[in-house]
Amino acid sequence: MAIGVAFGLMGAFFMAGLYVAAALGCLSLVIMYFFSDAPLWNIMANKAWESNTSFILVAVPLFVLMGELMNRSGMGEKMYQVISKWIFFLPGGLIHTNIVSCAIFAACSGSSVATSATISRVSLPSFRQRGYSERMVIGSLAAGGTLGILIPPSISLIIYGVLVEESIGRLYLAGFVPGILLAFVFMVMIAILALVWKDMAPKEEGASFKTVAGWVDRIVSLVGLLPMVALIFIVLGSIYAGIATPSEAAAFGVSGAFVLAVLMNSQGVTAPLLSKFLLMTGLINVVPDSFKEEMRSQRQPDRAVWLATLKLNGEIVQTAFISTIRTTGMIFLIILAAFTLSFAFARLGISQDIADQITSWDLSPTMLVLVLIVFYLILGTFMESFAMMVTTVPILLPTLEQAGVDLVWFGIIMVILVEAALISPPEGINLYVLHGVRQDVDREQAALANEIAKESTIADVWIGVLPFMACMGIVVILVMLFPQIALWLPDLVKGSR
């Protein structure tokens, strides 16, 4: 009885468009009120305290803030320009740049939404000027953004680790190879489609790989990747070296992102100080001749320059904090509601009934995972990915443990399925983020051209992501057939269990 009421109400709440946290919280209270004599308000208070005081969850707002600082400081734009110099020659041209840029940005931010928003805002105007297929461009941006929740540091892997009480470090290591493999499969698919449909992407021109000048240009441009490399080293290096926990590493990452954001947006102050330092030390003589005159002509910053620099950096930090608070509030409210629902299901025996029912089917671990893959693909078409994870994992955990499923291996499959949910029509959140950015770009370009902005529909976004969802299916199958794709690196670094 309780199971039927619970899932009936859950479906009704989500179909009615109720906010995820409100739907889960209301469902918890309703079923506890009618089917249990437990004191509801004490339970809510206890769960609010337990779920939101977990030390490991401190990493969530910190990684979100790090992504926001990177997004708003211009690091993503510089990275995109550098990568385009190296892979322009591939079939599909600069569409590959979206995937590589997203993969690198994901290794710093841990946020799918931040990755999609950053790279799409940088790239969309450029692709339109060059005449690329907009559906394929948007599809690659949507799919590339999802790499942010598989390639460490990943907020979703942290949440999953908390839900199943699994090592975050082991989960992070397990995400590396599948994440890189998924990016590679995306790029292969883009190349194949570009060879089949010649008009999908124009042939790009760039500095020749056969000349010294071309190589010098590319190698010098790698300086633009130094901020990203520094953040990856700070965050992941501190975790794997045993110097910091994921939460502490996130704090290091935020500090590094803040310093880099300020330096990148203070050129009016830093450039004159740098030129003065070079002149005083004599290092000006090793600077290329084309820059020497510019260095010597730098004037020391006056009060107006200092004030403008402080104002710009203040606005970057302020908007990053506001966006982080908004995102973190949403995540933690969902976590509170999900933990309360998990307690209600456990108290009423719903979780155990579901586990017993699935166990009675006598499925092998592989068959069980196949059933869950179909379940999550269907669920992802109408349910938001984060809510899908926190709602279902606590319920399925007893079943997975009884079947002897490796929780690290299943966690990677789970996260890939959550990625698919992020770009799964009609509810994928990345689709709406991209559609919003696309409309902003339309309005900006129309304003510059003094024209009326054209109307665009989200249908193009839905069509563009379908080939990339097929790529995710391929990677899920490979991870299922060859579990060592996910387990080899954590076993190598931390030892087999």
Q: Mean pLDDT, to the nearest integer, of 85-99?
A: 79
| Tokens, residue 365 | 């671990």
More confident residue, 308 or 128: 308
Position 478 confidence tier, pLDDT thresholds 50, 70, 90 = very high
Q: Mean pLDDT, to the nearest integer, of 432-443?
A: 69
Taking alpha carbons only, the member of 432, 441, 490 closest to residue 461 is 432
| Tokens, residue 19 | 């906010």
pLDDT surpassing 60 at residue 187:
yes
pLDDT tens for 121-145 read: 667 767 777 777 778 888 888 888 7
CA-atom Rg of the chain in angstroms: 25
% of the chain with per-residue pLDDT over 70: 70
Report whether the peptide linkage leading into residue 426 is cis, meaning its omega lies within 30 degrees of zero: yes
CA 168 to chain centre: 17
Per-residue pLDDT, 485: 92
pLDDT surpassing 60 at residue 291:
no
For the ranges 115-124, 161-170, 248-257, 465-474, which has the lowest average pLDDT?
115-124
Position 231 confidence tier, pLDDT thresholds 50, 70, 90 = confident
Mean pLDDT of the chain: 76
Per-residue pLDDT, 325: 83
Report the chain's terminal Cα–Cα distance, integer Å. Answer: 40
Per-residue pLDDT, 427: 59
Per-residue pLDDT, 294: 58
Residue type, 124: L
More confident residue, 452 or 171: 171
Per-residue pLDDT, 285: 61
Which three-class secondary structure string do you get for 110-145?
CCHHHHHHHHHHHHHHHHHHHCCCHHHHHHHHHHHH
Per-residue pLDDT, 469: 85
Q: Mean pLDDT, to the nearest integer, of 145-168?
A: 80
pLDDT tens for 340-366 read: 776 777 677 765 666 667 667 777 777
Residue 470: how many CB atoms within 10 A of its CB?
12
Interatomic CA distance for residues 306 and 313, integer angstroms: 11
More confident residue, 293 or 143: 143
pLDDT tens for 29-68 read: 787 777 777 666 666 777 677 766 766 667 778 777 877 7
pLDDT tens for 317-331 read: 888 888 778 767 766
% of the chain with per-residue pLDDT over 90: 2
